Structure 1
Amino acid sequence: MEFIKGIDWTAWVGTILLIVGFRESALWITTQFNHPELGNLVGLLSLLVVLFLWRTFGKLPTRLVDTNNKIMKESAFAFLPISAGSLLMMVHMGDKIPAFLLVLFISTLIPLWVYAKMAKRWL
């Protein structure tokens, strides 16, 4: 139970509510324009813009940054089932694997790399 005492629950709940609030708001807005599939992207970009502006005109709270870093480190395990499913799908693709890997590379690794560079520099 000692590890529970060291957790800043207010920062955790606030950070998660901030992330979920932006995502759900963006989903509602994009649904109004008949494109709910863009909700996650619009939510992520709007949250990044708000944090960038916040960082430009003030200082981000250390509690927010620390909690976000912890969430990002721990959420890597959420992608393990997706990776296993991708491997199973690739077995059945045959000669389409190079095109699939190219799309996977462009749509996943490059945006994550850009996001990491932006976060390191501006946040």
Structure 2
Amino acid sequence: MKSKIDWIALFFTVLLIVIAREGAVALMTLFGHPELGNLIGLALLLFILVIWRRFKPIPHRMIDANALIMKESAFAFLPISAGAVIMLVAMGAEIPAFLLVMVVSTLIPLWLYAKISKRWL
């Protein structure tokens, strides 16, 4: 049995994400670093949700919409993964240094963000 999608909650959740990201990119462009917009937008969204949760619970509709977005967006990483494998084959002896940079710059921050999100949200 297929569950019904709450399109209104999905729309407003995506709208919140887009507004937080675009606002952060605009703000960081004023400071001359637009490349930091995604990171600042993510931190801003987390900060907003942590403050929101202090006063009232996050609506279940928003949590369900976020789960749907996360589940469906996982397929977006398949082409990126294929490109990464092709790049790794071409790197040869530089692979250990590349993998160290990837672990330090990607996996550890994502793990920390997940821990913080789970504890505070």
| TM-score scaled by length of structure 1 | 0.91
- Measure, in 2, the Cα distance between the counterparts of 1:116 and 1:69: 14
- Measure, in 2, the Cα distance between the counterparts of 1:108 and 1:71: 21
Instruction: Show the counterpart of 1:53.
Output: 51
Unaligned regions of 5+ residues in structure 2, if any?
none
Alignment of 1:36-51 (within 5 A): 36-51=34-49
- Measure, in 1, the Cα distance between the counterparts of 2:10 and 2:48: 19
Aligned CA RMSD, in angstroms, stands at 1.6
Deviates more, 1:30-39 or 1:111-120: 111-120
Post-superposition CA distance 1:18-41 (Å, at most 9, x none)? 000000000001011111000100
Shift of 1:6: 1.3
Shift of 1:108: 1.7
Alignment of 1:1-123 (within 5 A): 6-123=4-121
Deviates more, 1:8-17 or 1:86-95: 86-95
Where do 4+ consecutive residues of structure 1 move more than 6 Å? Answer: none
- Measure, in 1, the Cα distance between the counterparts of 2:74 and 2:5: 20
Shift of 1:74: 1.6
Unaligned regions of 5+ residues in structure 1, if any?
none
SS of structure 2 residue aligned to 1:92: helix
Post-superposition CA distance 1:9-62 (Å, at most 9, x none)? 110000000000000000001011111000100100000001011111221111
Question: Aligned residue pairs: how many?
Answer: 121
